[in-house]
Amino acid sequence: MKVNAFNVNVCSEDPERLIAFYENVVGLPRMPQLPGAFMAGTTGFLVDGHSETKGAAKEPQRVLLTFTVDDATAEHHRLEAAGVKFVRPPAREPWGGLVGTFLDIDGNYCQLVEYPKA
């Protein structure tokens, strides 16, 4: 398969609330041409509604939304100060990087990943 682009779409019972969270709290830049769309690095991240999506994520660990950042500790402190709940603060992994896990307002697991400096 030749993939020309890759997007992630997260559905919510209240997409406008989740869009506001990713824009105003997480700080992702919006894609002006699509409502509810962001750029996360080179990947399109879209938030939308779905008639069968109700309530919080039932198995939040099933899909991990991973945001690779330069400084996971600084992002952890910034997000925590904004009221974001972390289920795991950034911790060193055996491969040398840092990984921390937080919940978005729908209960989806999001990871901050900082790769080791070369």
Which two three-digit tokens encode residue 104? 């978005």
Cβ atoms of 115 and 71 within 8 Å: the answer is no
Residue at token pair 């509810």: 36
Cβ atoms of 9 and 16 within 8 Å: the answer is no
According to CATH, the topology of domain 59-118 is 2,3-Dihydroxybiphenyl 1,2-Dioxygenase; domain 1 (3.10.180)
Full-prediction pTM beyond 0.85? yes
Residue spans of the domains in the chain: they are 7-51, 59-118
pLDDT in tens, the chain (118 residues): 998 888 899 999 999 999 999 999 999 999 988 889 999 988 999 999 998 999 899 998 899 999 999 999 999 999 999 999 999 999 999 999 999 999 999 999 999 999 998 7
